[in-house]
Structure 1
């Protein structure tokens, strides 16, 4: 294989100290995303009950979940919030890798 065909790896001129300082700024976004994911897990545990199990009847077959409109809105908010936080965190991580601090 021709060595010219292998693309060179881009080396960032940022020093390790700048990267470390930027990474430390990620603590709050990481912890808040974790907290929201925990809240989502609690909501899923509370809302996603097979109504046949609750009634004591579980004939063969799949799950049947019934949610109120409010429950669906709460779950939708929670999972969209988790996704938004993690998307922002990913961008902040990429920036921190280059030594940039983002909020």
Structure 2
């Protein structure tokens, strides 16, 4: 089973951060993949990824609309950067591209 981790954040740190997290999680699970999403919203970091989860991940998805805190944790991992609106509105398309990447490996 593929393991995806993600970090979502948006400029205001409110609704889109959490909507993106839910969309990514649901789209990954729809592919049969394990997924955990850390949110970096206006109230801080929630559902924080552990070092073990980062190490075990096959791929990292980061939203790119604002800087992700502690981004150095993902050095050496395969990272996909997407806009928060793409995460919310086009998560299935994002996961299709991720699946194509996995199939090339």
- TM normalised by structure 1 equals 0.24
The structure that has the greater radius of gyration is 1
- Compare the two structures and name the one with the higher strand fraction: 2
TM-score of the superposition, structure 2-length normalised? 0.24
With a CA cutoff of 8 Å and minimum separation of 6, indicate the structure with the bigger relative contact order: 1
